[in-house]
Structure 1
């Protein structure tokens, strides 16, 4: 590894340690080469999100993302990789682990959707968005950790896992997203439960919205269940990281259910000690196949 590449990986590691918080500590159990790769992937995701979140007209944000996409494409084809310090590490990670280049494009395309939010008419449309912003991340991760494809089953399970994680985010962040003009709940579901636009920015969760969120939570639990066998197809070295991520998000969804979907008054989160406990359990169960998880959402 030359000095420039070493410096790039160092940059990604510093950024990940600062921004990834609890997830970063799950990276530490990985061998150094895999840990560096996870940090490079995370740094790419963080940088892409930041380009879209920086205050600016949508046109300027779109131009930044277009320039970023071109820089990544140019670097992947052997061109200059000097526009962002973490780019050489990202390119090395993609090549080292044979991560399909289209996954990087999907991430950028997914972030671009949020620049000018539009409603999702059906869950099928929302599923496509979840694939772009979450599933391809999981697909990239399993390439880093190593996995047995089992005829494409692992890839299918990773896709389902990403959908479960993103649905959890959507349920938790309903009010925050709606105040920014981003409504991810499908219109067909809003209509089914009679949820109005004002319900999504209210100070409390009313019965209409509670019923809708319970429906979406059930959908998320079903996707967690679909993805349950992914763990055994991932190389043992990567299982603690996978279990930590899934464990934290699923416990977050459990907490939302326990609070009867009161996500409007206060953002639901897990305490640092609960996240730490999940991380420790993930390490201790490294070589065990996880017990089947329940698919049915608890009733209020």
Structure 2
């Protein structure tokens, strides 16, 4: 285990060897797969980081069941795996035994921070939708999916981050930020999602610009560009920016020691939209990312603000 991981677990008062191993597994998943999120998590006080790793590790584990491009198992088999994980999740949240590291850490985190178990059940319901639903006609339909896949992530995080206002007052902004992150991912990953047989961008929004799944698939396959696709994506980027604006007031509602973390994640994820624009909306042929230079430029001042906030507290 890296020394940083040991220090985090020590600060959190997690001493049981099995529990430490479970949290370490989740931290490893966050470090390997959630570069932006992992960087932002480093801005939290050490004692709060393991809980965030547990949330990410569990979400990543479930997501890999349905989204691994190298996994050619039929949808029915993946659905069965999601159902089995959901059943084991409910047992773990109720205090039952499990041998899955991500569930051991998650159940401990849910207990420590009194996180509503319904958020995890809603998340799993959306994961199962990925084995059944390949597209969404409207944003209203998509909202059902993103509530479980994204909004509840923001709600799970709130008890860990802490708020200076009643939690219920901060929940709408927290949920909106989770949705903004998710739709940003949808825009960045359009091509990869098409390869999985899914399209998360609402078909009526695309149709307004003369775009449909067939055109997107043709553009990806032939590596061609189409003006209609660019216009549709520009519209959806603007829509997503509006969600970030709704989420922005939530940062000031958090405890001071947590603000730098979420502000960093906010700026980096919103920066993906800037990169999509800079790439002329070419998300069908490559995966747009925020540069390491930009990450450092955002995280550096964030680290200073985090240290000052901890000193004041």
Say yes or no: does 1:192 pair with 2:208: yes
Pick aligned residue for 2:84 from 64, 67, 77: 67
- Taking the aligned partners of 1:6 and 1:176, their CA distance within structure 2 comes to 34
Pick aligned residue for 1:39 from 24, 49, 53: 53
Say yes or no: does 1:182 pair with 2:198: yes
- Residue in structure 2 matched with residue 257 of structure 1 by the alignment: 277
- Taking the aligned partners of 2:227 and 2:169, their CA distance within structure 1 comes to 39
- Taking the aligned partners of 2:102 and 2:305, their CA distance within structure 1 comes to 33
Task: Report the TM-score, using the length of structure 2 for normalisation.
Answer: 0.85
- Taking the aligned partners of 1:248 and 1:151, their CA distance within structure 2 comes to 25
Deviations 1:14-65 (A, max 9, x none): 3333333343233233333211111111111111112223431111111111
Contact 2:44 2:257 in 1 (8 A): yes
Contact 2:51 2:160 in 1 (8 A): yes
Contact 2:176 2:244 in 1 (8 A): yes
What displacement does 1:151 show? 6.8
- Residue in structure 1 matched with residue 63 of structure 2 by the alignment: 49
Change (3 A) 1:258 1:20: closer
Contact 2:162 2:258 in 1 (8 A): yes
- Residue in structure 2 matched with residue 103 of structure 1 by the alignment: 119
Pick aligned residue for 1:134 from 147, 150, 161: 150
Change (3 A) 1:154 1:186: same
- Taking the aligned partners of 1:265 and 1:40, their CA distance within structure 2 comes to 33
Query: Aligned-pair RMSD on alpha carbons?
Result: 2.0
Change (3 A) 1:149 1:132: farther
Change (3 A) 1:265 1:5: closer
- Residue in structure 2 matched with residue 86 of structure 1 by the alignment: 102
Say yes or no: does 1:236 pair with 2:243: no
Q: Which moved more, 1:205-214 or 1:259-268?
A: 259-268
Pick aligned residue for 2:286 from 246, 263, 266: 266
2:289 match: secondary structure: coil
Change (3 A) 1:6 1:174: closer
Contact 2:115 2:159 in 1 (8 A): yes
Pick aligned residue for 1:125 from 141, 146, 151: 141
Q: How many residues align?
A: 287
Contact 1:30 1:237 in 2 (8 A): yes
Deviations 1:105-153 (A, max 9, x none): 1221112111133321211111222221111111111221111444733
- Residue in structure 2 matched with residue 19 of structure 1 by the alignment: 33
- Residue in structure 2 matched with residue 208 of structure 1 by the alignment: 228
Task: Report the TM-score, using the length of structure 1 for normalisation.
Answer: 0.88
- Residue in structure 2 matched with residue 298 of structure 1 by the alignment: none
- Unaligned stretches of 5+ residues in structure 1: 289-300
Contact 1:205 1:263 in 2 (8 A): no
Deviations 1:211-269 (A, max 9, x none): 11111111101001011101101112221221221111111101112232122232211
